[in-house]
Amino acid sequence: MGAIKDQQFFKWYEDYSLSIFKYIYAIVQEPQTAEDLMQETFLKLYEKYGSINDIHNVKNYLFRSAHNTTMDFFRKESKIKKLLNVIKKEVDSYSSTEKIVEIKEEGRMILKALKQLKPSQREVFVLRKIKGFSIKETAEILDWSEAKVKTTLHRATNNLEKFLLMEDETIELPSIVRL
Amino acid sequence: MNCRQSLDYKLNGLEDEIIWVNERKTIVEDRLREKIAENSKKKRTAINWEWLKVSISLVSVGLLCFVLIGNISTKKNDFQEIYQAGSLYYKWYNLELKPILPPVNEKWGQFESFPIMIKSYKNFDLVESQKRASYKIMRPTIDTNIPLELSRGVVVYPTSLPAKKFKGPITYWDIWHSGDKWVYAKQSLAENSKQLLNEKEKKITVEIHSNAKVIPFKDKNTIAILMDLGEYGKRINMYVKNKKDQVINFEIRGNINEEELIKLARSYNEE
């Protein structure tokens, strides 16, 4: 039983760790924290292995767990300022994160814009727009109503566009792109 | 390309823009394995500790039972040993019985005075007697099948004092009778009560007939000696220590069979 559990668990790790890491990273934007939270998410999965009803839907389970773990982290820190400071530091001294994560130029812009969103907006946006979950799935993962997902997503998209637009202006993109 | 399209285009590529350095996946996997092993070890230790606690509790309970049972059997054996040993001496608190007298060869008379006593005990008031007694009067607790009528009475002494004012030693009598069958049970507070119970006091030695039998009681607070008086019946003398640390001197004698007499004697002591 233990061997089968371990085998299945590490198969799931193999399949979903990258996706979960990127999701958490997009939210917290601190590579070491993202890795730690991902590890915690998988440990919870291991502990709850026996109570997972639908092993065919582990992906959603993992994202829900990752969401909860990340929110717990924010709550614990609730010192979000502290987190933001860390993120700021990390972005500023980018070279220190190279060993864990590499971000291409375009991605860095998006992440920078995401960082400007509220954590809840960031989450819904990443799940829906980047991870490609449906409204229904996103609502399940976040334990929200679909209406709330839609509203928050709408606000998040508008805000993000604004941030990106401002960013574009600062780097003086051709006007055709701006319009 | 409008702004929304531009955003969607950028977002589509974000997954590829974030690169989790390859070896990190293996590093985290190793950390997970390590953590899982550590957690299960902790769990096992916790489980073992639980088992250890359960085992210790069981052993303690076992030891407690052993001690209690040992204690009970010791208490029981105190008397049993005395009874079974057939030795020359029997001990009970500060009392030592020596069965050194020759087998009884006394001529006991009939209990001829019982009709007179029955008559005088007619209007006997047990409650009033108990009030005047300085010890708790023992009552038979069994519904005996002995087909005897019960009369009861009390003798107070010294007789010079008016009975109602007297509070102190009292001799209480039960008389069971039917035709020529009779039994009397007589009880009073032993005058040497304290000396009997306190081993620091001078030992009390009583010589008894070598054919006397010690009747076993589960309760170590009682010692009883049975004497066969031949054609005039049998007699049981008992010392009973009560809850107030008093010794009741109890004598029961009758011309009914031995088993019935013992049963009746026991019934006084089973409260």
What are A104-140's pLDDT values in tens digits? Answer: 777 788 888 888 888 889 899 889 888 888 999 999 9
Q: Do B14 and A177 touch (CB under 8 A)?
A: no
Task: Report the pLDDT value the prediction gives residue A175, as an integer from 0 to 100.
Answer: 36
Query: With an 8 Å Cβ cutoff, is A166 touching chain B?
Result: no
Looking at residue B187, what DSSP letter applies?
A: E
Query: Residue B128: which pLDDT band, with cuts at 50, 70 and 90?
Result: confident
pLDDT for position A43: 93
Most confident of A37-46, B43-52, B145-154, B260-269: A37-46
**Chain B contact for A91, CB < 8 A?**
no
Q: What is the DSSP letter of B178?
A: E
Give me the pLDDT at residue A174, please. 38
Separation of alpha carbons A32 and B28, rounded Å: 11
How many angstroms separate the CA atoms of B92 and A161, rounded? 104
Q: Is the pLDDT of residue B98 over 60?
A: yes
pLDDT of residue B39: 84
Check residue A88 and give its pLDDT.
57
Q: How confident is the model at residue A20 (pLDDT cuts 50, 70, 90)?
A: very high
Per residue in B226-258, pLDDT tens? 988 777 788 999 999 998 888 999 999 888 888
b/e map A39-68, b = 16+ CB within 10 Å: bbbbbbbbeeeeeeeeeeebbebbbbbbbe
Four-CA torsion B174, B178, B181, B185, nearest 10 degrees = -10
The pLDDT score that the predictor gives to residue A149 is: 93
A22 with B20: Cβ contact below 8 A: yes
Per-residue pLDDT reduced to its tens digit, B159-175: 555 555 556 657 888 88
Chain B interface, best mutation among A23, A46, A127, A171, by max B CB count within 10 A: A46
| Model pTM above 0.90 | no
In terms of pLDDT, which residue wins out, B100 or A96? B100
Q: Which two tokens stand for residue A170?
A: 């600062």
pLDDT tens digits, residue range B73-84? 444 433 333 343
In what helix (H) or strand (E) does residue A165 lie, and over which residues does it extend?
A: helix A146-170
Cβ of A25 within 8 Å of Cβ of B20? The answer is yes
Residues of B in contact with A18 (CB under 8 A): 20, 25
B-interface mutation test, from A36, A42, A44, most B Cβ less than 10 A away: A42
Chain mean pLDDT for chain A: 79
Q: What is the pLDDT of residue A53?
A: 67
Which range is most confident: A84-98, B1-15, B186-200? B186-200
Sequence-separated (6 or more) residues with CB below 8 Å from residue A52: A45, A58, A61
Instruction: Give B186's contacts (C-beta < 8 A, 6+ positions apart).
Output: B171, B172, B173, B250, B251, B252
- Is pLDDT at A173 greater than 50 in this prediction? no
Among the partner residues A22, A98, A179, nearest to B15 by beta-carbon distance: A22
What is d(CA B170, CA B133) in angstroms, rounded to the nearest whole number? 6
Contacts of B21 in chain A (CB under 8 A): 98-102
User: Average pLDDT of B193-209?
Assistant: 85
A36: confidence class by pLDDT, cuts 50, 70, 90: very high
Residue B6 predicted with pLDDT over 80: no
A contact test, residue of B2, B4, B12, B17 with most A CBs within 10 A = B17
pLDDT exceeds 80 at position B205: yes
Q: Using a CB–CB cutoff of 8 Å, tell me whether A106 touches chain B.
A: yes
Q: Is residue A47 predicted with pLDDT exceeding 50?
A: yes
Q: What is the pLDDT of residue B74?
A: 44
Residue-level pLDDT at B42: 80
Q: Bigger pLDDT: A77 or A64? A: A64
Give the model's pLDDT for residue A86: 58
Instruction: Compute the distance between CA of residue B253 and CA of residue B232 in angstroms, rounded to an integer.
Output: 9
Query: What local confidence, expressed as pLDDT, does residue B156 receive?
Result: 56
Q: Which residue has the higher pLDDT, B121 or A154?
A: A154
pLDDT at B181: 80
Q: What is the pLDDT of residues B130-148, one digit of tens each?
A: 877 788 888 887 665 566 6
Residue B36 clears pLDDT 50, i.e. is over it: yes
Write down the pLDDT at residue B129. Answer: 77
Q: Give the per-residue pLDDT at A62.
A: 92
- The per-residue pLDDT for B82 is 37
Average pLDDT across chain B, whole number = 76
Q: How many CB pairs under 8 A join A and B?
A: 89
By C-alpha distance, the chain A residue nearest B36 is: A43
What per-residue confidence (pLDDT) applies to B71?
56
pLDDT in tens, B187-200: 888 888 888 998 88
Residue A67 pLDDT level (bands cut at 50, 70, 90): very high
Q: Using a CB-CB distance cutoff of 8 angstroms, which residues of chain A are in contact with residue B22?
A: none
